[in-house]
Amino acid sequence: MLPALELDVDRQGPPLHAQITAQIAASIRDGRLQAGARLPGERELAEVLGVSRMTVRQALGALERDGLVRRAVGRSGGTFVQEPKVERHPASTDGLSAELRRQGLAAGAELISARVEPAPLRTAAALGLEPGEPVAVVVRLRLASGKPLALERSSLPQQLYPGIEALDLGGSLYELMHAVYGRRPTRVVERLETVAARPADARALGVRPGAPLLLVERVGYGADGTPLEFARDRFRGDRTRIVIESTEALG
C-alpha cells in the first residue's frame, strides 16, 4: 500500500465503494497522491480493506469518471493518478490568469508571436472593423503551474491598443489592457466546440496529433459595447473541465 494512501471503511456507514472513492479523492486533492502515482491493484485493495473486488472496481470507476485517475491495460497497465483538471467558467470576464489563481495554480504565459496584421474577414466581423484594418495578434502558450494548458490567439483592434504587441505579454492580457489603455472586456460571448489537435497544436501543448482539444472562440466587449477582443483558444481536453452555473429554475 502506498504510504500516502491510508484507507479505512466503516461497515455501518455509507456504501463501501463511496467511502473508498471519497478517501482516495481526498488524498489526490490534498496532494498526498501526486499525478502519475500508481494505485494498488484491485486485488490488493480488496484484500487490505476486506471488501470484494467489485466494490473496489466501483470505486475506481467513479474516480475515473470524475477525471481523478486513468486506467491503463497491458503489461504497464494499472490505475494512475491523473493530472488535475483546470475548471473553465464560460463567459467569465475575469480572464484565465485569475481563474487559475483561484484554483491554487500558478498562471504562466510563453509568448509565441505578437505582431500587427490586416484583419481577415472573420476577425473584422467579430471586432466591428473593415476587412484589412490593423489588429494586434498575440499568440501565447498558457501554462497552469508550469504545464501546457492552452494555445491562445487574441486579436485586438490596433487603433484601441496601439503598441500593445511591443509590451510585456507574459502576464494577464486583460490586466495589461486595463492598466495601460484603460479598457478591458466587461462582457464576453464564448462558443465552445471540440476539435482535433493540428501538428503545430500538438507540438506546443505536448499532446499527440489528433488529440481532442476544446476550442473556445470568444468576443470580449467593453462597458460601452465596443468589441475589444476576438480570441480562438485551444485547451487540452485532458486537462480542462467546463463549469456552467445557472440561477434560473429548471423546468
> Which are the contacts of 35, defined by CB distance < 8 A and separation ≥ 6?
81, 82, 83, 84
Q: Does the pTM exceed 0.85?
A: no
Domains of the chain: 16-81 (1.10.10.10), 86-242 (3.40.1410.10)
Please identify which residue in the block is written with the cell numbers 456507514: 13
- The H-assigned helical ranges of the chain are 16-29, 42-49, 53-65, 96-102, 121-127, 173-181, 199-205
User: Tens of pLDDT along the chain (251 residues)?
Assistant: 555 677 888 888 889 999 999 998 888 877 788 888 888 888 999 998 999 999 999 999 998 887 788 888 766 678 888 877 788 877 778 888 888 888 877 888 999 999 999 999 999 999 999 999 999 999 999 998 888 999 999 999 999 999 999 999 999 999 999 999 999 999 999 999 999 999 999 999 999 999 999 999 999 999 999 999 999 999 999 888 888 776 665 55
Question: What letter represents residue 136's amino acid?
Answer: A
Question: What letter represents residue 155's amino acid?
Answer: S
CA–CA gap between residue 131 and residue 237 (Å, rounded)? 33
CA–CA gap between residue 190 and residue 88 (Å, rounded)? 11
Please identify which residue in the block is written with the cell numbers 484594418: 133
CA–CA gap between residue 2 and residue 5 (Å, rounded)? 5
